[in-house]
Structure 1
Amino acid sequence: MNSAASTSRDALDPVAPIAPLDRRIVNALQRGLPLVPRPYAEAAAALGITEAVLLERLRALLAAGVLTRFGPLYHVERAGGRFVLCACHAPAARMDAVVAAINAHPEVAHHYARTHHLNLWFVLAVARPDQVAPVLARIAAAAGVEVLPFPKEREFFVNLYLPA
């Protein structure tokens, strides 16, 4: 899966208030959607809103950068694959070119710019663990940067709760 440049929340107004309805939506949907023919309609009904309002609020949260992604999380390791968090230093003068070179690879799930020497982070998703090293070598060569892999040692689930 390839994505366009992700905007980190810290690049936006970090203290912008989140509407109470949006807080309720985030709190409810992070626990999952019901496995029914119309999951958004059922989730909306549980929130006391319409399906159209729920979908509009999700689109607005994504457009504003409050949410950077909305979708399923897969345990790729259970299917034999591997996710690897990676980082590199992209010189400011070459940032756009480095981002484009990294995003050109279908194995790159998403990336984030950060204010640190390692200023560009991305997630690599491959079907088999033995693909990690060759794919990272291709990405590093195409982007002209050293890519540092940070393989997962332990998985954590962080439950974001936004008090009303």
Structure 2
Amino acid sequence: MTIAEKQHNTALNTEQGYQLDSLDRNLINLLQHGLPVCENPFAQVAEEVNSSESIVIDKINNLLEQKILSRFGPMFDAACLGGAFTLAAIAVPEERFDEVNDIVNSFEQIAHNYKRTHEFNMWFVIATETEQEIAQVVNDIEAKTGLSVLNVPKEEEFYVGLYLPV
């Protein structure tokens, strides 16, 4: 059994939650810089972290299942591709949060959705093919939830290059 396989098999679930092992940490740190663009990107990542392709894929899936990662996938700039996107928010009564969350997330145009401690406690990105479709999605969400959507379109873009080492 390789070191990577031992690490993979000995990740602990404790009362405090999932415990990251060194392979988890290495993958999270490495993948924040992007996935290699090649025929077998997970095999290349596995080589970089001294593991196997199947273990790397299992680890990523496990990190998603454990909610350590909220998403894993490409981030497309809808505007550069001819589409449109906007940031939106809703003030959701706490007792309805899960229900409204499910409604909002049922729209294929919702890129990601976050809970915040604020009067507007649900924030999400709407990505569509056209500006008009954004208005339609906002209207549809309002109709299905009975709540007003705050639409906050981008005025200026800043590249932050956020990296959070673990």
Instruction: Kindly name which structure, 1 or 2, has the bigger radius of gyration based on alpha carbons.
Output: 2
| Shift of residue 114, structure 1, vs aligned partner | 2.3
Q: What is the identity percentage for the equivalent residue pairs of Structure 1 and Structure 2?
A: 34
The answer to whether structure 1 residue 159 and structure 2 residue 158 are counterparts is no
Computed over aligned residues only, the root mean square deviation of the Cα atoms, in angstroms, reads 2.1
Alignment-derived partner of residue 9 in structure 1? none
Does the C-alpha gap of structure 1 residues 120 and 47 become closer, same or farther in structure 2, counting only changes over 3 Å? same
Segments of 5+ residues of structure 1 without an aligned counterpart are 1-12
Alignment-derived partner of residue 143 in structure 2? 141
TM-score normalised by the chain length of structure 1? 0.80
Which of 40, 49, 68 pairs up with 1:66?
68
Within a 5 Å distance, the mapping from 1:67-146 to structure 2 comes to: 67-146=69-148
Say whether the 8 Å CA contact 1:98–1:144 is kept in structure 2: no
Q: Tell me which amino acid in the other structure corresponds to 1:94.
A: R
Alignment-derived partner of residue 10 in structure 1? none
TM-score normalised by the chain length of structure 2? 0.79
Segments of 5+ residues of structure 2 without an aligned counterpart are 1-15
Distance 1:41 1:117 in 2: 45
The answer to whether structure 1 residue 48 and structure 2 residue 42 are counterparts is no
What do residues 77-136 of structure 1 show as CA deviations (whole Å, max 9, x unaligned)? 111112212110111232233223322322122322222211111111111123222321
Alignment-derived partner of residue 36 in structure 2? 34
Does the C-alpha gap of structure 1 residues 159 and 115 become closer, same or farther in structure 2, counting only changes over 3 Å? closer
Give the length in aligned residue pairs.
Answer: 150
| Shift of residue 17, structure 1, vs aligned partner | 5.6
Say whether the 8 Å CA contact 1:88–1:119 is kept in structure 2: yes
